[in-house]
Structure 1
Amino acid sequence: MSQDVTGGPRVLTVPNIISMARLLLVPVFAWLVAQGHDAWALAVLLLAGASDWLDGVLARRMHQVTRLGQMLDPAADRLFILVTLVGLAWRGVVPVWLVVVLVLRDVVLAVLLVALARSGYPPLRVHLAGKAGTFAIMYAFPLLLLSEWPSPVGLVAGVLGWACALWGVALYWFAGALYLTQAASVMRRDARVRAAEAA
């Protein structure tokens, strides 16, 4: 964890505060979608997407990468994606199968991470494909919400939104396959080491 000059852990870093703010935006977005305030919901989605990019950039440039931030950022992303999916499905903007496909991947990885943690393994290294998939999905949502507007804005937004969503789903599951492969490789390596030590 990144530390301050006194040697204590740094929790309230700028990137962590941004991630916390994004978490606070989740119920705001849910309420806006439920009430049909699409313009404001769209603004919140765009702000969440921009903050997702910003906190990572600032963490690296300001040397404020912390263990809390490494857990908080993906947690905020997953929660925002889940709430947005449910809200858009409830409004009929996206089909239920999209919710199932994206949630199923996160459930599979959550089970994997719990199994690894119980066996004493650290969290898996984040792949670029996973980040790209999350980025595509986060930017698909505002476009899909905008597709509810009259043409030509709604038509163009719908085409672009579904392009981002489908690319995001593909990258999301590709990254999931990479995580599963990575976990299997680590466990096989450790099994070989234990077998060699026991021989």
Structure 2
Amino acid sequence: MISLVRLLLVPVFAWMVVEGHDAWALAVLLVSGASDWLDGVLARRMNQVTRLGQMLDPAADRLFILVTLLGLAWRDVIPVWLVVVLVARDVVLGVMLVVLARAGHPPLRVHLAGKAGTFAIMYAFPLLLLSEWPSPVGDVAGVLGWACALWGVALYWFAGALYLAQAGSVLHRDARDGRAARTT
């Protein structure tokens, strides 16, 4: 339910950031980030981890990240290269998921590096939005926001490399097992 609410907040956030309602957009970003954390904690503590939740949560994360990237790039808060770098990683992993699914495998388990990268990126966005405010707070937020964004990008791609290696291992094992079955 929490992930569904987060998904519903995406167009609200998009409208707010494009229209320049920064304080409200910042509030929506903070609520979204807090609810993402709360969603995971509650699901694990209450033993209510579901397949739907496992699909909705990362979908909400990716959609919020994409819309936030596009909105911040639209406003010239972030450069286009940041959008390209983050979207490219998700496209690569999306193709990997299709390949795994065609081979009969479920999505891979999320790595801590992936969670940390997503957390850092989602932490960077409100800071980068806050950096637009003309004040010393905006200046500090800009420095912290870029530190989180760059660290998040590094972790995001590191986790992507881990996922690709894991997928390669799974597919290699399938190929090996298929060759072994044909020779016996």
TM-score if structure 2 supplies the norm length? 0.98
Per-residue displacement from partner, 1:21-66 (whole Å, max 9, x unpaired)?
0000000000101111000000000000001111000000000000
**Runs (5+) with no aligned partner, structure 1:** 1-16
Map 1:45-60 → 2, pairs under 5 A:
45-60=29-44
* Residue in structure 2 matching 1:181, options 157, 165, 178: 165
Map 1:145-156 → 2, pairs under 5 A:
145-156=129-140
Per-residue displacement from partner, 1:119-171 (whole Å, max 9, x unpaired)?
21111111010000000000100000000012210110000000000000000
* Residue in structure 1 matching 2:58, options 59, 74, 78: 74
Q: Secondary structure at the match of 2:47?
A: coil
Q: More helix by proportion, 1 or 2?
A: 2
Rounded to whole Å, the distance in 2 between the matches of 1:115 and 1:187 is: 9
Percent pairwise identity: 84
Q: Secondary structure at the match of 1:126?
A: coil
Q: Secondary structure at the match of 2:173?
A: helix
Q: Secondary structure at the match of 1:120?
A: coil
Rounded to whole Å, the distance in 1 between the matches of 2:74 and 2:179 is: 52
Q: Secondary structure at the match of 1:125?
A: coil
- Aligned twin of 1:90: 74
Across the aligned residues of Structure 1 and Structure 2, the Cα RMSD in angstroms comes to 0.6
* Residue in structure 2 matching 1:42, options 18, 26, 42: 26
Rounded to whole Å, the distance in 1 between the matches of 2:172 and 2:16 is: 48
Rounded to whole Å, the distance in 2 between the matches of 1:167 and 1:54 is: 23
Rounded to whole Å, the distance in 2 between the matches of 1:40 and 1:133 is: 25
Rounded to whole Å, the distance in 2 between the matches of 1:190 and 1:36 is: 51
**Runs (5+) with no aligned partner, structure 2:** none
- Aligned twin of 2:94: 110
